Amino acid sequence: MPQAFAAETSRTDVWGREVTLRRGARVRIEASSGSGKTTLCSFIMGMRSDYAGRILFDGLASASLSQDAWSSLRQTALAWLPQEIGLFPQLTLRENITLKNSLTGCRTAAWIYEACDSLGLTDCLDRQASRMSVGQQQRGALVRALCQPMDFLLLDEPVSHLDAGWNKAVASLVDRELRASGAGLILTSVGHHLDITIDTHLTL
């Protein structure tokens, strides 16, 4: 996974250093606002390429991947909950989730309902995303993100709009799915942490 990013400060554990992230490991990356947490996720997901150094997937440089290869990675290996949430506002929550699942065929309708129920979202399933609270949108976007096979789950400040109770509910769902899939976790945070066991802490 990511290796040798451009250096920004001498105190960082990531920028300008070689970092290996392995499937099954759980890593939390902490930094103050504006330090590059979302930028790092964008680099890993192939959404941006304006970095120095290299990002490797199983030894293959991400810069060499075709658009088809990136599309396959994003559907089968890299699941992402962006900080911006990104639900389609005109679609219902059910439609947002089903649209993602239709591309991957990963989840059953029963799984989707149970996941939404565990996050208090069943009453929102047929509500337009634009009419949901930000916290509800964040929880719904997590369910959507989990509707795919994955080797790594990237969560960019996933509980920034949640109270302690929903934090625990999100952590429980994430923990269950990580265990089931054997996937690794790349979690970014700034003060408001997901209540889940972490193997490694890094700073930006």
User: Within 10 A of 11 (CB to CB), how many other CB atoms are there?
Assistant: 8
Is pTM, for the whole model, over 0.75? yes
Q: What is the average pLDDT across 41-55?
A: 95
Give the tens place of pLDDT for each residue, 107-164. 999 999 999 999 999 999 999 999 999 999 999 999 999 999 999 999 999 999 999 9
The structure tokens listed for 36 are 């590059």
Residue 67 has pLDDT above 90, yes or no: yes
Residue from 22, 151, 136 nearest 89 by CA: 136
| 2-203, CATH topology level | Rossmann fold (3.40.50)
Predicted local distance difference test score (pLDDT) of residue 32: 84
In one letter, which amino acid is 171? A
Residue from 109, 80, 76, 78 nearest 94 by CA: 109
- Residue 82 and residue 184: Cα distance in Å, rounded? 16
Q: Exposed, middle or buried, 147 (CB in 10 Å: 0-12/13-18/19+)?
A: buried
- CA torsion sign for 114, 115, 119, 123 is negative
Residue 86 has pLDDT above 50, yes or no: yes
The structure tokens listed for 178 are 């990580």
Predicted local distance difference test score (pLDDT) of residue 33: 84
Domain ranges of the chain: 2-203
